[in-house]
Amino acid sequence: MTHDISLTEQARDVLITNDRGSYTVPTAGLYPYQWNWDSAVAALGFAQFDVERAWVELETLFQGQWADGMVPHILFHKNDPGYFPGPEVWGCEGPISSSGIIQPPIAATMAHLVWQRDPEMGRPRMAALYPKMVKWHSWIMRWRLHRGAVCTTHPWETGRDNAPDWDKTMARMDASDVGEYTRRDTSHVNAEDRPTKYDYDRYITLVQLGRRLNWDQAAMLAQSPFRVADPTMTFTTLRAARDLVKMGAALGEDTQTLEADVARLEAGAATLWNEELGGFDSRDVHSGEWAGCLSNASYLCWFAGVENRAMLTKLRSIMERVAYPVPSNDPDAETFDARRYWRGPTWAIVNMLIGLGLADMGHEEEATDLAKKTAHLIKEHGFAEYFDPATGSAAGGGSFTWTAAVWLAWAGKV
């Protein structure tokens, strides 16, 4: 028990150390700005010991919301020349210097969970934040749907930067004119744990395209070679819509449009079922081709309120076969790489989302098992960015905000 209390104190210290006053950085050096879904998870972590600070985190994130409703994936509050690509590369004109793409919209879900920590104190904060969250949701519904599934227009948007889901799509892209640039991430952590230069050339090519098009969504819809309907964006958007309905009802708001969105997104989620794979998969909108990838995002179905017995069977199998589940890629896949970012490693953040979904859908045994295994992983290997699923060894950045937040809000409570 003493060890658990100590870890809880350490987790708080990670959040406090990475706190920049009104926002939190994922970790010092490697990620010096406010990241969208990292920040949402940080808010849930703060809510376990400082609800006021949790609301500030979310409010600061939405201060960067664009006029059209988009909430960027990075807010560059203070310029740090050590990070690439910085604001000068993106060329965006939001209220706060930012990137031009989004990230998984888990902020509404995290806000809902924060509100539950102290409903009376949080009501005026939620009343002010709610319309902003609805506006972002409406932006996604307007610009990102294909057959009801939510699309990503850049691998970074999903948070799963170099997942094998994007390999076929990126192989068709021409990045020959990307020009010279200097990455900073590989100077902070082992290059073998990071995306390759081949991947990065294509990431920057898409950023350059967005900038040339002034981040005009209609133009990008017409011209971008990268548009993939994927489980991450679809399941997190569906969960957000459900939570927005609940919060709206509690606030006395009209939720009819949101309820219709839930039905539309449920139908969209069904279009991501790859019968041959036997799992939820990513689909290239331009070619109609399946990625053929069973990822940790495939198991976010329960987080979205989508029951699937076949996925539950697969989850039980992976929980038995892998020492530190859930790996970000199928260990049997040719593309599996135990330490390279999203091509195999286990991520505590995704485990928490899967676990919350399992518990919500009544799969308590699986939810508890996953929480215990994630807790063991953190106890043994610390608050790392991600972990080798076979050995548990830490990879990526250290003293990582969202891993500490996962301990405080979920894994440390079993």
Residues marked as catalytic: 161, 385
Between CA 155 and CA 344 the distance in angstroms is 16
Contact indicator for 280, 272 with CB cutoff of 8 Å: yes
Beta-strand pair 228-229/283-284 = antiparallel
Between CA 367 and CA 358 the distance in angstroms is 5
| C-alpha distances out from residue 412 to 181, 352, 360, Å | 41, 11, 18
Q: How far from the centroid of its chain's Cα atoms is residue 134's Cα? A: 18
In angstroms, the first-to-last Cα distance of the chain is: 12
User: CB under 8 Å to 390, separation ≥6 — which residues?
Assistant: 322, 323, 324, 338
Q: Which has the closest alpha carbon to 300: 199, 131, 159, 148?
A: 159
Quote the tokens at residue 141. 């519904």
> φ and ψ at 180, to 5 degrees?
-85, 140
| C-alpha distances out from residue 244 to 43, 265, 410, Å | 17, 14, 22
User: CB under 8 Å to 291, separation ≥6 — which residues?
Assistant: 164, 165, 166, 167, 168, 169, 228, 281, 282, 283, 284
Q: Which has the closest alpha carbon to 356: 47, 1, 16, 112?
A: 112
With vertex at residue 157, the alpha carbon angle to CA 156 and CA 159, rounded to the nearest 5 degrees, is: 65
Quote the tokens at residue 96. 């706060």
Report the half-sphere exposure of 400 (CA within 13 A, side-chain side): 25
Q: Which has the closest alpha carbon to 89: 74, 107, 102, 104?
A: 74
Burial of residue 10 (CB within 10 Å: 0-12, 13-18, 19+) is middle
Beta-strand pair 279-280/273-274 = antiparallel
> φ and ψ at 139, to 5 degrees?
-60, -45
